[in-house]
Chains A and B, each alone.
Chain A
Amino acid sequence: MGEIGEAAATALRLLRSADPELFAIVALSLEVSLTATGLAAAIGLPLGALLAVARFPGRGALVLLVDAGLGLPPVVVGLLVYLLLSRAGPLGELGLLFTPTAMVIAQTILVTPIVAALARRAVADLLEDYHEHLTSLGLRPLAAVPVLLFDARYRLATACLAGFGRAAAEVGAILIVGGNIRDHTRTMTTAIALETSKGALEQALALGFVLILVVLAVNLAAAGLSTMARRIEG
């Protein structure tokens, strides 16, 4: 228990000292994970809605694939993206390996199935409730996608937050494709892995507490926005 308490004290000290390296690491973590979540939302929300309303051959298989994607192992995604972006790989010419862009790509692949799967559930539930209403309006299900997405917006926001949580917490993929380069691709989670490997467990756990605080702050901001939106809507 003593070690955990000391780690918490170190975390506070780190935050109070306004260490520029720590802030750069926090900023990069947020930048990478939020960008990946944004991209995953742009792909996953329409994809999830489409899977909920449309009927086409292969839909069942695609639903299964997206749901299975919830359990995608980060280290495998990291390895695949590494092989794609490596100089000896098909996209090697782009020179993206060991850059934040490579980390965004890996995390987008990890987060998209989460957003898509949760969006599909949310829209499918709504569709069940509204089915008669939509038919009476003469709207075809596909045409109702924007309405359904809008009506499901709070649950979709939760889907995006779940995706962000996954991105912010993972280390397996970004360690491989980012390389944990100081001042360039070092994030909260890769820094924690590094400190652990140095046996600096207290420092590692202190960084862990900072990461938890950051994720908490993002969720708090999202909750605040949603409350505000509800109030405006009356």
Chain B
Amino acid sequence: MRVAAIFGLILAWGATAFAAEGSRGTLLLASTTSAENSGLLAHLLPRFEAASGIRVKVVAVGTGQALKLGERGDADLLLLHDPPNEAAFLARGFGLERREVMANDFVLVGPRADPAGIRGGRDAVAALAAIAARKAPFLSRGDESGTHALERALWRRAGIDPTRAGGWYRETGSGMGATLNTAAGLAAYTLADRASWVTFRNRRDLEILVEGDPALLNVYSLVLVSPIRHPHVRIAEARAFADWLGGPEGQAAIAAFAIDGRPLFRPIARPPGGS
């Protein structure tokens, strides 16, 4: 009896301590890690919140996991960088619409010693072929993220299946930061998105070796989760954020975000009405 009373008390305390704040005016954004870890969202969200009164809660995960969260109705809005899988998500009826909002690029990074001799190249596919030919250590995200998807597409274009190639190709199965930490430790090559690379603080011997290939374009899009599949989704708030980020104010805020004086993302949203 007494135990039940104590249990009840603790439960009641727990419930009041964590009483869910009003869900009105909040929005859950599942975002690719680079947008969060680079500080971009910390730069954008206070501006949006001041303009709209809508509070945005960010869960930073890889694009694959973000798509899964959207599919299960656990997020209202997704910020992703994997166009083919975004299209598939929409085709399967989980997404209402997709808006391209910003872009930058991917870079091939590797050890300063550069055993595969790819430094200065502008052809990512040729660089991967050179790494494979030298059997130089290469780390793959291996986590179904947008970066992982592009990396696999590049290997396909090189006509190489690295997963069957032997010990030089390794999958970390983790996020960009963890993979860069491992690459720094192993002096391995890896593909990184520009924002994660620029804001990464533990580079050790790593540097950019290949950049500037159009195939390394990195497009970020907002995908609205469909309220037809998940009626509880906060579509009005999600649309408000998409409109703001794609509009002049949000696009200017993206352009103004810089690290060490250099902009990290390029605004690319089309003006409303045009398509």
**Bound pair: A and B?**
yes
Residues in chain A within 8 A of chain B (CB atoms): 31, 35, 38-39, 42-43, 46, 86-89, 92, 95-101, 104, 179-182, 184, 194, 196-201
A199–B10 touching, CB < 8 Å: no
Q: Which residue of B lies closest to A183 (CB)?
A: B57
On chain A, the residues within 8 Å of B73 by CB distance are: 86-88, 92
On chain B, the residues within 8 Å of A197 by CB distance are: 33, 37, 175-178, 181
Q: Which of A87, A95, A96 gathers most chain B CB within 10 Å?
A: A87
In the A-B complex, list the 5 residue pairs whose CB atoms are closest, starting with the nearest: A197-B177, A199-B202, A87-B73, A179-B59, A88-B72
B74–A86 touching, CB < 8 Å: yes
- In the docked arrangement, what's the CA distance between A43 and B10, Å? 11
A180–B72 touching, CB < 8 Å: no
**Contacts A31-B17, A198-B177, A199-B180 known; A180 to B60 CB distance under 8 Å?**
yes
A181–B58 touching, CB < 8 Å: yes
Whether a CB of chain A sits under 8 angstroms from the CB of B201 is: yes
- B165-178 vs A, CB cutoff 8 Å, 1 = contact: the mask equals 00000000001111
Q: CB < 8 Å: which of B7, B37, B232 contacts A43?
A: B7
A39–B37 touching, CB < 8 Å: no
Q: Can you name 17 A-B pairs with beta carbons within 8 Å?
A: A38-B14, A88-B71, A88-B74, A104-B18, A181-B57, A196-B178, A196-B181, A197-B33, A197-B37, A197-B176, A198-B199, A198-B200, A198-B201, A199-B201, A199-B202, A199-B203, A200-B202
Q: Which of A38, A97, A197 gathers most chain B CB within 10 Å?
A: A197
On chain A, the residues within 8 Å of B200 by CB distance are: 198-199
- In the docked arrangement, what's the CA distance between A92 and B72, Å? 10
Residues in chain B within 8 A of chain A (CB atoms): 3, 6-7, 10-11, 13-15, 17-18, 20, 23, 28, 33, 37, 42, 57-60, 71-74, 175-178, 180-181, 184, 199-203, 230, 232
**Contacts A42-B10, A43-B7, A197-B178 known; A100 to B201 CB distance under 8 Å?**
no
On chain B, the residues within 8 Å of A182 by CB distance are: 42, 58
Q: CB < 8 Å: which of B14, B175, B184, B201 contacts A200?
A: B201
A181–B59 touching, CB < 8 Å: yes
On chain B, the residues within 8 Å of A42 by CB distance are: 3, 6-7, 10
On chain A, the residues within 8 Å of B10 by CB distance are: 35, 38-39, 42
Q: CB < 8 Å: which of A46, A87, A198 contacts B230?
A: A87
On chain A, the residues within 8 Å of B74 by CB distance are: 86-88, 97-98
- Residue pairs across A and B with CB atoms within 8 Å: the count is 89
What's the minimum C-beta distance from B108 to chain A, rounded to whole angstroms? Answer: 18
- In the docked arrangement, what's the CA distance between A198 and B199, Å? 7
What's the minimum C-beta distance from A93 to chain B, rounded to whole angstroms? Answer: 8
A87–B232 touching, CB < 8 Å: yes
- In the docked arrangement, what's the CA distance between A42 and B58, Å? 33
What's the minimum C-beta distance from B195 to chain A, rounded to whole angstroms? Answer: 11
Q: CB < 8 Å: which of B59, B178, B203 contacts A98?
A: B59
- In the docked arrangement, what's the CA distance between A39 and B7, Å? 7
Q: CB < 8 Å: which of B11, B15, B181 contacts A199?
A: B181
- In the docked arrangement, what's the CA distance between A197 and B176, Å? 7
On chain A, the residues within 8 Å of B33 by CB distance are: 197
What's the minimum C-beta distance from B16 to chain A, rounded to whole angstroms? Answer: 11
Q: Which residue of A lies closest to B75 (CB)?
A: A98
**Contacts A181-B57, A198-B200 known; A104 to B14 CB distance under 8 Å?**
yes
On chain B, the residues within 8 Å of A101 by CB distance are: 14-15, 18, 20
Q: Which residue of A lies closest to B60 (CB)?
A: A180
On chain A, the residues within 8 Å of B180 by CB distance are: 199
**Contacts A31-B17, A39-B10, A100-B18 known; A201 to B178 CB distance under 8 Å?**
no
On chain B, the residues within 8 Å of A46 by CB distance are: 3
- In the docked arrangement, what's the CA distance between A200 and B203, Å? 10
On chain B, the residues within 8 Å of A38 by CB distance are: 10, 14
- In the docked arrangement, what's the CA distance between A171 and B41, Å? 23
On chain A, the residues within 8 Å of B232 by CB distance are: 87, 95
On chain A, the residues within 8 Å of B14 by CB distance are: 35, 38-39, 101, 104
What's the minimum C-beta distance from A110 to chain B, rounded to whole angstroms? Answer: 16
A198–B37 touching, CB < 8 Å: yes
